[in-house]
Amino acid sequence: MEEDIGSGDITTENLVPLNLTGKGRIVAKQPLVLAGLDMARKVFEELDPQILFTSAFLDGQEIETGQVVLEVSGNLRALLMGERTALNILQRLSGIATQTRSFVNLLKDKPVKLVDTRKTAPGWRVLEKYAVRVGGAFNHRMGLYDGVLIKDNHIAVCGGVRKAIENIRQKIHHLIKIEVEVSDFDELQEALDAKADVIMLDNMNIEQIRAAVAIINNRAIVEVSGGVTRDNLLLLADTGVDIISSGALTHSAVSVDLSMRIESN
């Protein structure tokens, strides 16, 4: 809101009388999974604490083309000034929830967990990961601060998978799990020898993933990542992995199409 309104809305403040009231309806122009309802409410309440905000839906519900997502009534300036920010939030988060739901529906009969990644828009991580949960998937770590994930560059710096795992195990408390990313079978064996809790198979093909799952043989949680799309989702799920992580849930989601119709009283 600060970046959009700045020192004031030049157009609205010069065209709309201060005390004029009105109402607005946000309408779906395509099928979608709703996410961001409370955030949109907050936008209008910040501009007009007396705003009346109603919706027949909850986040996570599926909405069809033409349905009214929400209605707001109150100060007309507030409605006009909050329109774009509210729409941006709803369109972006509903886009993520809609895409995530399409992935989740493909996996509904599979014993595998779908999770997101840290590939989110700067400043939007909490919101985008919330939308992933609304869509029916799960969150990976929120940031660098809440989980150990030893990646290729860490391995290079430390001189190998085993050295990295052994080094960090001496420095963290016993409740933190250690996940390590491996890209070949030598690194996989090092991870097993060092007793990693979670092994991420990075950018392996289907045959390699199946072989890796057999080698791990339930000695660690198995995550697969890299190049995950709707087209290969079922193939990955059938390899026997426990977790599929996909940056596409957030970074490749397309905002849904919503419009707001405003009228004065």
**Catalytic residue of the set 23, 41, 42, 84:** 84
Short-list 121, 169, 178, 129, CA closest to 151: 178
CA distance 195 to 178: 9
Q: Among this protein's residues, is 202 annotated catalytic?
A: yes
Q: CB-based burial of residue 28 (10 Å sphere; 0-12 exposed, 13-18 middle, 19+ buried)?
A: buried
**Catalytic residue of the set 110, 113, 119, 169:** 119
CA distance 197 to 194: 9
Q: Among this protein's residues, is 2 annotated catalytic?
A: no
**Catalytic residue of the set 151, 177, 195, 219:** 151
Q: Among this protein's residues, is 125 annotated catalytic?
A: no
CA distance 247 to 139: 11
- The CA angle 8-14-20, to the nearest 5 degrees, is 95
Instruction: Return the CA Rg of the chain.
Output: 23
Q: Among this protein's residues, is 84 annotated catalytic?
A: yes
**Catalytic residue of the set 48, 116, 179, 181:** 181
The residues annotated with a catalytic role in the active site are 84, 119, 151, 181, 202
